[in-house]
Chain A
Amino acid sequence: MEPGDERTYSTTMATDLAPISQIWGSITQREEWTDDERADVLNDLFPDDERIVPYLKRFATLMILSTTIAAFGLIGDSAAVVIGAMLVAPLMTPMLALAASLTYAQMRRFVGSLSLIVIGTVGAIATGWVVARIAGGSLTAASLSSELLARTTPSLLDLGIAVAAGLAGGYVLTHKGAGSSLPGVAIAVALVPPLATVGVALELQANDQAIGALLLYSTNLVAIVLSASVVMVVSGFVPDYIRQAARGKIGLRLLPWGIALFAIAVPLAAHTRAVVEDEVFVGAVAAAVGTWDPQAVIVELDADRTGDQASVSMTVATSADHQPAWKLASAISANLRIDLDLDVRYREETTDAASTS
């Protein structure tokens, strides 16, 4: 947070939109930039001729290592390891560079950073594939770890995270003294784990899941580039003489990214709707189970609803004198006006105890 922000936060929250406008005010707060300072930041984003080789070496090394860490973490179902991989991941730099090249209208740097992103993307997927090949073990397309599955069904929430993280990334870059926050941005909008997921899923021939993870990665990529670009323009990082020379052209250059973001939002919205529908359905099923047999405890539940067709598989723990499945099917079906296939497994509640001394 910038000095002076406390003052704005201490003012009254007169309307619901007040916090948002305050944050926006903070993002758009103009820093005083000299051309030398701008050049330093840009040089970090786009290493020049002398530094390009070490930069590429560092990028390739960290890319392979971070994807390897991520793939192991995903296969081993360890959230901590996956987060570790995010901290090592170097992909954020070329993305911010891409945003800068768009706003500064620098074609050579645009092509350079886009190429680096494409190569990094393909390399990361290949690394994920190789790790799964070597260490995939007992994983199959039907039994992916929950860390993997978590990256295969992106929703509008992920889009929101990516937009906010892009704003944060742009903010960190264009506001002096905010640099230490970058690792947090990298964690919030993970780039390498979805790519590792694509590679692992492809190796397991789980193509639908691979496409889902690729959609998550695309969401992050487009949202970061677009929102970081916007921050660079409104925060004054892009100097006025460039903005005036470009006139409406900056908007024109960002337009394809805006369209891409919208195009991605469509499947995400569909995904989100399906997820919400399934959750509502699961809630209705759980409520019906409570009426059907108050003693029943749902041990496992797999529910899927498409339109007015649904299937439910569940395991319930209940007393030995259990209720028949047809009654539950009948109740759910009548309440929700759907056709239902129901499988119930009963796990009898038995207890046992022993002591020795």
Chain B
Amino acid sequence: MRLQRASALLIVGAVFAAGCSSESVDERPIIEVFGTFREADAAHFAATVRPFEDEYGVNVRYVGSGSFVRDIRERIANADYPDIALVPQPGLVTEFAAAGLVRPLAAATADAQRAAYGDSVAATFNGALYGVWFKASVKSLVWYRSDFFATHGYEIPASWTELVELTEQIEADGMTPWCLSMESFTASGWVGTDWIEDIVLREQGSDFYDDWVAGNISFEDDAIVAALETFGAVVHTPGRVAGGTNRILNTPWQRAQDPMFEEEPGCLLHRQASFQEVHLPTAASFGENTKVFPLPSVDGTEPPLLVAGNLATAFNDRPEVVSLIEFLGSAEAGKGWASRGGFTSPHPEFNPDWYANDFDRNIGEVLNQARTLRFDGSDLMIPAVGTGTFWSGMLTYVRYGNARDAAAEIQLGYASAEPFDE
């Protein structure tokens, strides 16, 4: 039987990557880890914790969900806690911490995290750290069809103005400039939030960005509405995005860039994070027909970098759980995954030789050398907004095109935020 993929309303995926099978190994204590990595990534994560399993004599049972935020909330509501969650949103970890659901880091682990990252990324509550940064991605990248750039004489834009000029030039040459799609199960919309964050960070600067992410600046502020409209100039200009708004809303984000590699490319530019690497279609070859450039700054200065990643946080303080958290926060943590490709370690002491390919190594270098680094804002915002109305508001904006209405809808998330345990 083949699954007909046309007739359904909703899809959810999950993966279980378990450890070993021999009798003695089966009797080891089990640590249950719940996260977002699915399919091949689930196997990569299993590979990365294998040295820990052997050293500590435990089995790590990993479960990955395509609807992580919804599912972790439901699990908490049912008091069905995993031992560890790998959370892409530090804001969610902070919320768990405030509700007393997760444990602060052990002193030595907390000190090591502060030494590596300062306080910029980790989830803090009342001065204590609640998570370790395990996996990083760089979001402010534009993937492009490099061989077409060469044959058409297009140049890498150094400023936002040049990016707009390039977009118009591609249109004048009879092609569609942008690849873009936002469908992502119950997390649909996050691709749009990344665009807005990158634009706000560039147009308004990092201090403004921090205030906005902290909730001190409203989405209805003129600057945020203007950022929405900058994004709107891409999605709502006919012929600027492959497939138009219909494709943006209905195509899985992993497949956004596929048209770029058709015989007549359906689009030439795709603003997406480094993790797009593992979702490129087979016709793509990094370095040969596709490369990346950083999304340029407004004035041509070195652009700020938006990053994201997963924080590991513990729901109890069993010794093996505390040890796994310490392991996941260490420089060696991602070694097993890095050797399989598609992984960037945020850790400044991660050995570049451990990377499987130059792309991952370059992203690691970019991450370590960036002067202005900001964590993905929607992941830091309170979850009612960051994983709630900001996601849904972006879908509203793409569909209906009114920036002020969308901004008002997103801002409503702050008013409706409820204490976690209700």
Which A residues are closer than 8 A to B by beta carbons?
142-143, 300-302, 308, 313-315, 324-326, 328-330, 332-334, 337-348
Q: How far is the CB of A303 from chain B (nearest CB, A)?
A: 9
Q: By the criterion CB–CB under 8 Å, are A341 and B13 in contact?
A: yes
Q: How far is the CB of A218 from chain B (nearest CB, A)?
A: 27
Give Cα distance in the complex from A161 to B381, angstroms.
67
Q: How far is the CB of B379 from chain A (nearest CB, A)?
A: 21
Q: By the criterion CB–CB under 8 Å, are B2 and A308 in contact?
A: no
The verdict on A345 contacting B10 (CB below 8 Å), with A308-B21, A324-B65, A339-B43 known, is: yes
The verdict on A339 contacting B16 (CB below 8 Å), with A324-B67, A325-B65, A329-B63 known, is: yes
Q: How far is the CB of B181 from chain A (nearest CB, A)?
A: 18
B50-93 to A contact mask, C-beta < 8 Å, 1/0: 00000000000101111100110010000000000000000000
Q: By the criterion CB–CB under 8 Å, are B8 and A341 in contact?
A: no
Q: Which residue of A lies closest to B1 (CB)?
A: A302
B12 partner, pick from A325, A332, A334, beta carbons under 8 A = A325
A333 partner, pick from B16, B43, B71, beta carbons under 8 A = B16
Residues from chain B with Cβ under 8 Å of A324 in the complex: 12, 14, 65, 67, 70-71, 74
Interface residues of B in 3-50 (CB under 8 A from A): 3-5, 7-18, 21, 34, 38-39, 42-43, 46
Q: How far is the CB of A141 from chain B (nearest CB, A)?
A: 12
Residues from chain A with Cβ under 8 Å of B3 in the complex: 300-302, 313-315, 343, 345
Q: By the criterion CB–CB under 8 Å, are B13 and A343 in contact?
A: yes
B8 partner, pick from A142, A315, A332, A337, beta carbons under 8 A = A315
Give Cα distance in the complex from A117 to B191, angstroms.
62
Shortest 4 CB-CB contacts between residues of A and residues of B: A333-B16, A345-B8, A326-B14, A329-B14
Q: By the criterion CB–CB under 8 Å, are B9 and A341 in contact?
A: no
Q: By the criterion CB–CB under 8 Å, are A329 and B15 in contact?
A: yes
If over half of B's interface residues share one DSSP class (helix, strand or loop), that class is named, otherwise mixed; here it is: mixed
Q: How far is the CB of A226 from chain B (nearest CB, A)?
A: 35
Residues from chain B with Cβ under 8 Å of A325 in the complex: 12-14, 65-67
Q: By the criterion CB–CB under 8 Å, are A344 and B12 in contact?
A: yes
Give Cα distance in the complex from A333 to B30, angstroms.
14
Residues from chain B with Cβ under 8 Å of A342 in the complex: 13-16
Give Cα distance in the complex from A328 to B11, angstroms.
14
Residues from chain B with Cβ under 8 Å of A329 in the complex: 14-16, 63
**In the complex, how many residues of chain B place their beta carbon closer than 8 angstroms to a beta carbon of chain A?**
33
Residues from chain A with Cβ under 8 Å of B12 in the complex: 324-326, 343-344, 346
Q: How far is the CB of B71 from chain A (nearest CB, A)?
A: 5
Give Cα distance in the complex from A347 to B7, angstroms.
8
Give Cα distance in the complex from A308 to B20, angstroms.
10
The verdict on A344 contacting B13 (CB below 8 Å), with A339-B43, A339-B46 known, is: yes
Q: Which residue of A lies closest to B67 (CB)?
A: A324
Q: By the criterion CB–CB under 8 Å, are A347 and B14 in contact?
A: no
Q: By the criterion CB–CB under 8 Å, are B65 and A340 in contact?
A: no
Give Cα distance in the complex from A328 to B13, angstroms.
10
Residues from chain B with Cβ under 8 Å of A339 in the complex: 15-18, 42-43, 46
Residues from chain A with Cβ under 8 Å of B2 in the complex: 142-143, 302
Give Cα distance in the complex from A315 to B8, angstroms.
8
Residues from chain B with Cβ under 8 Å of A143 in the complex: 2
Residues from chain B with Cβ under 8 Å of A348 in the complex: 9
The verdict on A337 contacting B18 (CB below 8 Å), with A302-B3, A326-B63 known, is: yes
A-B contact pairs, 24 of them (CB 8 A): A143-B2, A300-B1, A302-B3, A315-B3, A324-B65, A324-B67, A324-B70, A326-B12, A326-B65, A329-B16, A329-B63, A330-B63, A333-B16, A338-B18, A339-B16, A340-B15, A341-B13, A341-B39, A342-B13, A343-B12, A344-B12, A344-B14, A346-B9, A347-B9
Give Cα distance in the complex from A330 to B5, angstroms.
23
Q: How far is the CB of B69 from chain A (nearest CB, A)?
A: 12
Residues from chain B with Cβ under 8 Å of A332 in the complex: 16
Q: By the criterion CB–CB under 8 Å, are A343 and B11 in contact?
A: yes
Give Cα distance in the complex from A260 to B63, angstroms.
48
Give Cα distance in the complex from A328 to B2, angstroms.
20
The verdict on A300 contacting B4 (CB below 8 Å), with A324-B12, A341-B38, A346-B10 known, is: yes
Q: By the criterion CB–CB under 8 Å, are A326 and B71 in contact?
A: yes
Q: How far is the CB of A343 from chain B (nearest CB, A)?
A: 5
The verdict on A340 contacting B16 (CB below 8 Å), with A302-B2, A347-B7 known, is: yes
Q: Which residue of B lies closest to A332 (CB)?
A: B16
Give Cα distance in the complex from A338 to B18, angstroms.
7
Give Cα distance in the complex from A301 to B3, angstroms.
7
Give Cα distance in the complex from A270 to B4, angstroms.
28
Residues from chain B with Cβ under 8 Å of A326 in the complex: 12, 14, 34, 63-65, 71
Give Cα distance in the complex from A315 to B71, angstroms.
19
Residues from chain A with Cβ under 8 Å of B8 in the complex: 315, 345-347
Residues from chain B with Cβ under 8 Å of A142 in the complex: 2
Q: How far is the CB of B118 from chain A (nearest CB, A)?
A: 34
Give Cα distance in the complex from A345 to B7, angstroms.
9
Residues from chain B with Cβ under 8 Å of A341 in the complex: 13, 15, 38-39, 42
Q: How far is the CB of A278 from chain B (nearest CB, A)?
A: 11
B120-147 to A contact mask, C-beta < 8 Å, 1/0: 0000000000000000000000000000
A301 partner, pick from B1, B13, B63, B66, beta carbons under 8 A = B1
Residues from chain A with Cβ under 8 Å of B4 in the complex: 300, 315
Give Cα distance in the complex from A27 to B222, angstroms.
94
Give Cα distance in the complex from A308 to B43, angstroms.
12
Extra A-B contacts (5), CB below 8 Å, given A302-B3, A324-B65: A325-B13, A332-B16, A339-B46, A345-B11, A346-B12
Q: Which residue of B lies closest to A348 (CB)?
A: B9
Give Cα distance in the complex from A324 to B185, angstroms.
12
Give Cα distance in the complex from A329 to B14, angstroms.
6
Give Cα distance in the complex from A197 to B1, angstroms.
19
Q: How far is the CB of A158 from chain B (nearest CB, A)?
A: 21
Q: How far is the CB of A335 from chain B (nearest CB, A)?
A: 11
Give Cα distance in the complex from A330 to B65, angstroms.
10
Interface residues of B in 225-256 (CB under 8 A from A): none
Residues from chain B with Cβ under 8 Å of A338 in the complex: 16, 18
Q: How far is the CB of A136 from chain B (nearest CB, A)?
A: 18
Q: Which residue of A lies closest to B74 (CB)?
A: A324
Q: How far is the CB of B86 from chain A (nearest CB, A)?
A: 13
Residues from chain B with Cβ under 8 Å of A340 in the complex: 15-16
Residues from chain A with Cβ under 8 Å of B67 in the complex: 324-325
Q: How far is the CB of B236 from chain A (nearest CB, A)?
A: 31
